[in-house]
Chain A
Amino acid sequence: MEGARIGVRLAAGHARAALVVGGEIRHAACRSGDEPELARELRDLARGTPVRSVTWDVSAELDPASAGSPVAAVRVMPRLPARGLGSAHPSPLIRALVRRQAAVIGGHDLFGVELATLDIYEMLRTAAAAQAEGVSALALTATGALGCPDHELAAAEIIRDAFPRLRVSLSHQVGGLGLLDREAATVINTALLGRAEQVVERCVRIARRLGASTSAWFVAGDGGRISAERLRVLPVLGLWATGAAALTGAARLAGVDDAVVALARPEGLAVGHVRDGLPHVATDRPGPGGVRMAVPQASLTPIHGSHAATASAFALLAEHDQHTAVVAVAGTGPQGDGRDGIATDRGRAAAARLSSASVLVEPTAELAAIGAAGTEPSAWLDTVLYAETSEVLARKQAAVEQRALTLVAESGARLGSERVVSSRALSLSFLRSGSYRLVVRAGGRAEDEA
């Protein structure tokens, strides 16, 4: 089916858009606050070509420091901390977002064994106190929730029954091992629920103006794309998506699936990797405000300095990498395109130091917007399991992979295109033999792919 895909990055009151149709790329830029104007710009960009999808990078709109609302953070643990030790998160951002911190007895171990009965009465008292203080959303983090989410689900149910106006985010839906990191992600997620609702609604409305069959998607921090429904519930997944989108765009324009990529920006290079068409991600990188959040985000290493110096540094990295080296200009020009003079000079200097097998990409539109247009459905699961034998491990691993593939399908993958990108079973140190951490990444081709 003929049609175009549009990617849009929203930031600082502006929208930078790229339309990709066949081998052609067009760009547009306008103020993002004027909805009719933005819709008109996108229609003009299409020039009558049916637009199959608009994929939005809204990470700049979801800055928790400016757009987050106060929340109540509730931990569920088998024992309450003595003297409140370890209750408060060390990050100033999280402390600023958490108006009320509480702990309630309950929780499971990593493998889903209940450690203490959930104290539902204390949970209700905590929710009542939070609502009385004017808090409208509650971040719930139960220990062991990835092994068994029952206490989080039970708590959410009784809170919704008793306090229907309170919104609740559950840590097992956010994902990630480690209570502190997962709680931080859940707090940020909860704080952004209101803002995400507004942003998603607006983006969906604008996409609908382009045609009844135009779908709206959102770039995730891992470089995949997620649905409007998923971003409404899990806005934390949409953070820090710009770097991931730019990596995706660079690899696509270079025509490679595996690459070491230098994004040339005015202030320096940012180096990342693309594997099988998806950005290399990590869960231990600091996110907004330096907070580690246990959710995957594209791994980018900044290198600052003069053009010559950053070129030398990247040449050294590229020399030791087995994949194609790609240098991509990732600046934004005065017209909202990719033609930033300083970034272009830096990119050309870096490319000049590389072998002839490398690729220099000078996009005609903003790279992150091009990448957004080209994002594909993806999913990431990080969990713990126990398997006595390799056969049991293989069976359980396959079940988790199937869950990941289902998530990919729900993100608009074309039937049959879903694939497991990577699946690693890592032995857990100092637990009984057969204890594994399983990290699965899956992807697929979008239904609207031209």
Chain B
Amino acid sequence: MTRSRITVADVPALLAGAEFFSTSAAGEGIEFAGFWLEDILAQTGPVELVTADELDPDTFCAAVGAMGSTIAMAELPPSGQEPVLLARSLAERFGGPLGAVMPLNAASVNALNPVAAAALLGLPLIDCDGMGRVFPLIHQTTYELAGLSLSPLAIVSAGHDSLLLDTGSVRAEHIARSIAQAAGGWLLCAMYPTRAGRLGEAAIHGSVSRTLEVGRLLSGHASAGGRTPESAGARTPDSAGDSSWSGLTPGQADGDPLWFSPGPPYGHPGDDGWPWRGAPPHERLLRDLAKATGATSLGGGRVVEIGPSVRQAGTVYPGNPMGMVVHDHDSGRLIRLEAHNELVLALADGALTAAVPDLLCLLDRGTLRMTGPERLTVGDQVDVLCVPAAPVWHSGPGLGLGGPGAFGFPLRHPRQESR
């Protein structure tokens, strides 16, 4: 069987996909991690991406991910020694070395951290994760739902403060969060130590591949210019049978404008802008994202309000609630989005239309990149997308751990309403 590898060339796509699955609020300002990962992969060579069932069922593995703030990490980047310290900590405890790394979540900066850890440790990366998105707490995972133990939790800070924590999942989250705050704003963690054979029902399989696939789609649109993403080398879902691209290029070369993004969203310094031909390019991108992820558009238009939310912050979660309102051009409806670290709820003219654990994402129409409240100001044009979460999150226990109620909203998820 031919195994996949993640190389330096995959990093821009990984970064773009990581932003998409970060549910907007959590993926901002993670470009630094892309440069860092490229540097690592250039030194170590590619990382082998394997499925859980390709490994010996007894292979010792653990989920790797950062907790804390991406802005703090951008200000205080990792030294590169952190995964080694985590692996050493777990090996001493379990009497044997790690055999593989799995992602805590293949989104935001945590889509990149496990790849970096696998590269630095010389281990394969399992193509799965425990969230399929970003959740604010490290025990909001499918690993937890399947009964895997989060602890012992190995943590290390940018200052190389390290700790192996033996306690329950909720207390581990609380204690580690306090340490993260005191230790520079973020920690790299290794958790859910287990055997590869136990990941069958516990993980969301194919998450890393999916992040890469969506990232290639986004990067392809960004760099395609007047061409389709396929002709620019990007893979798109069912591209072989998609005839809708055929109408986009003929006859447009002379008349239609070239649209340029104002900056390279997923490229490198020195890249040129990206010309676009034809109708507003966000519509084409939305169509392809829908095919790739099952996303639906809740609407799009101008941001008319943004600021602190009127609701009280819960004590369980870090960060503060925020709210924003988008005026949907087509329907005239007002779409209110509630955010708390990431986007949590969408209400259209007061009616709940989408909620966690499903992913809410914002696409900036001007730059064609995923965006969030921190980047946006009143007047910006965005599209609001809803991406269905992995099916396990729509189960009763899944909604209990990651549904609206878990975020302090006394609301039933739209899927519960339809049952």
Q: Interface residues of A, CB < 8 Å — how many?
A: 70
Contact A110 B262 (CB under 8 A): no
B412 interface residue per 8 A CB criterion? no
Q: Are the C-beta atoms of B258 and A320 separated by less than 8 Å?
A: no
Cα separation A168 to B273 with both chains bound (whole Å): 34
**Nearest B residue (CB) for A422:** B377
Nearest CB of A to B361, in Å:
15
A429 to B185, CA, bound (A): 11
Tell whether B237 is near chain A: CB-to-CB under 8 Å: no
Q: Are A109 and B308 in contact (CB under 8 A)?
A: no
Contact A285:B262 (CB < 8 A) given known A90-B268, A178-B74, A432-B181: yes
Interface residue A37 (Cβ < 8 Å from any Cβ of B): no
Whether B80 contacts A144 by the Cβ 8 Å rule is no
Q: Point out the residue from B75, B81, B182, B260 that lies within 8 Å of A304, measured CB to CB.
A: B260
Instruction: Determine if B31 is an interface residue (Cβ-Cβ < 8 Å).
Output: yes
Partner among A82, A273, A302 whose Cβ is within 8 Å of the Cβ of B81:
A82
Q: If A115-B159, A320-B329 touch, does A82 touch B79 (CB 8 Å cutoff)?
A: yes
Whole-angstrom distance between the Cβ of B316 and the nearest chain A Cβ: 10
**How far, in whole Å, are A81 and B320 apart by their CA atoms in the complex?**
33
B375 at the A interface (CB under 8 A): yes
A426–B254 Cα gap in the complex (Å)? 44
In the complex with contacts A90-B38, A431-B181, A116-B159 CB distance below 8 A: yes
CA distance A80 to B158 in the complex (A): 10
How near does chain A come to B124, taking the closest CB pair, in angstroms?
21
Contact A79 B158 (CB under 8 A): yes
A79 touches B36 (CB 8 A): no
Interface residues of B in 162-190 (CB under 8 A from A): 177, 181-185
Residues of B within 8 A of A433 (CB): 313, 315, 317-320
State which of A91, A116, A299 has its C-beta within 8 Å of the C-beta of B269. Answer: A91
A285-327 toward B: CB 8 Å interface, digit per residue (1/0)? 1100111100000011111111011101100100011100000
Tell yes or no: A4 within 8 A of B by CB.
no
CB-based contact B374/A301 at 8 Å: no
Partner of B259, one of A80, A313, A321, A427: A313
Which residues from chain A contact B256 at a C-beta distance below 8 Å?
Answer: 305, 309
Q: Does B400 contact A (CB under 8 A)?
A: no
Residues of A within 8 A of B258 (CB): 268, 303-305, 309
In the complex, whether B250 has a CB less than 8 A from a CB of chain A is no
Tell me which of A179, A301, A312 contacts B366 (CB under 8 A): A301
Contacts of A179 in B (CB 8 A): 32, 74-77
Residues on the B chain within 8 Å of A312, using CB: 257
Q: How far is the CB of A48 from chain B (nearest CB, A)?
A: 44
Residues of A within 8 A of B28 (CB): 429
- CB neighbours (8 Å) of B275 from chain A are 304
> A83 at the A/B interface (Cβ < 8 Å)?
yes
Whether, in the assembled complex, B373 has its beta carbon less than 8 Å from a beta carbon of chain A, the answer is yes
Interface of A is mostly: loop
Q: A316 touching B76 by the CB < 8 A rule? A: no
In the complex, are the beta carbons of A92 and B269 less than 8 A apart? yes
Per the bound structure, the CA–CA distance linking A82 and B271 in Å amounts to: 29
Stretch at the interface among B62-70, B147-155, B211-219, B283-291: B62-70
Q: Contacts A92-B270, A115-B184, A429-B26; is A308 near B136 (CB within 8 Å)? A: no
How would residues 264 to 280 of chain B score, 1 for a CB under 8 Å from any chain A CB and 0 otherwise?
A: 10001111010100001
Bound CA–CA A24/B181 (angstroms): 58
| Complex Cα gap A400–B258 (Å) | 41
| Residues of B contacting A181 in the complex (Cβ-Cβ under 8 angstroms) | 32, 74
Is B302 located at the chain interface by the 8 A CB criterion?
Answer: yes
Q: Which residues of A contact B78 (CB under 8 A)?
A: 86
Once the chains bind, are A430 and B69 in contact (CB under 8 Å)? Answer: yes
A166-180 to B contact mask, C-beta < 8 Å, 1/0:
000000000001111
Taking a contact as CB atoms under 8 Å apart, the answer to whether A285 and B80 are in contact is: no
Contacting residues, chain A, for B264 (C-beta < 8 A): 286, 290
B248 at the interface (CB under 8 A from A): no
Closest to B275 in A: A304
A190 in the interface, Cβ–Cβ < 8 Å? no
Does B122 sit within 8 A of A, measured CB to CB? Answer: no
**A77 lies within 8 A of chain B by Cβ:** yes
C-alpha gap A286/B367 in the complex (Å) = 13
Complex: how many Å from CA A144 to CA B70? 14
Which of A81, A305, A431 is within 8 Å of B79, CB to CB? A81
Q: Does A284 contact B (CB under 8 A)?
A: yes
Tell whether, in the assembled complex, residue B80 and residue A81 are in contact, meaning their CB atoms are under 8 Å apart: yes
Name the residue of chain A whose CB is nearest to the CB of B320.
Answer: A427
Among B67, B69, B160, B261, residue most surrounded by chain A Cβ atoms (within 10 Å): B69
Does the CB pair A429–B342 fall under 8 Å?
Answer: yes
What is the CA–CA distance of A288 and B149 in the complex, to the nearest angstrom? 50
Q: Are B80 and A430 in contact (CB under 8 A)?
A: no
Asked if B159 and A79 make an inter-chain contact with CB atoms under 8 angstroms apart, the answer reads yes
How far apart are the CA atoms of A88 and B40 in the complex, in Å? Answer: 12
Within 8 A of A (CB), among B314-347: 315, 317-322, 329, 341-342
Asked if A124 is at the interface (CB within 8 A of a chain B CB), the reply is no
Distance (Å) between the CB of A264 and the closest chain B CB?
A: 14
Known: A79-B160, A301-B260. A109 touches B80 (CB 8 A): no
B67–A430 CB distance below 8 A: yes
User: Which of A81, A83, A431, A433 has the largest count of B CB atoms less than 10 A from its CB?
Assistant: A431
Establish whether residues A83 and B71, one from each chain, have CB atoms under 8 Å apart when the complex forms: no
CB <8 Å contact, B318 and A432 = yes
**Minimum CB–CB distance for A259 against chain B, Å:** 12
- Min distance, Cβ B300 to any Cβ of chain A, angstroms: 10
- B58: Cβ under 8 A from any A Cβ: no
11 residue pairs of the A-B complex, CB under 8 angstroms, read: A143-B76, A144-B75, A285-B263, A292-B263, A303-B259, A309-B256, A426-B374, A427-B322, A429-B69, A430-B70, A433-B320
B-side interface residues toward A, CB under 8 Å?
A: 25-26, 28-29, 31-32, 35-36, 38-40, 43, 67-72, 74-81, 84, 120, 136, 158-160, 177, 181-185, 254-264, 268-271, 273, 275, 280, 301-302, 308, 313, 315, 317-322, 329, 341-342, 366, 373-375, 379, 381
Which of A's residues lie within 8 Å of B, judged by CB? 77-83, 85-86, 88-94, 107, 109-110, 113, 115-116, 143-144, 146, 177-181, 268, 273, 284-286, 289-292, 299-306, 308-310, 312-313, 316, 320-322, 384, 425-437
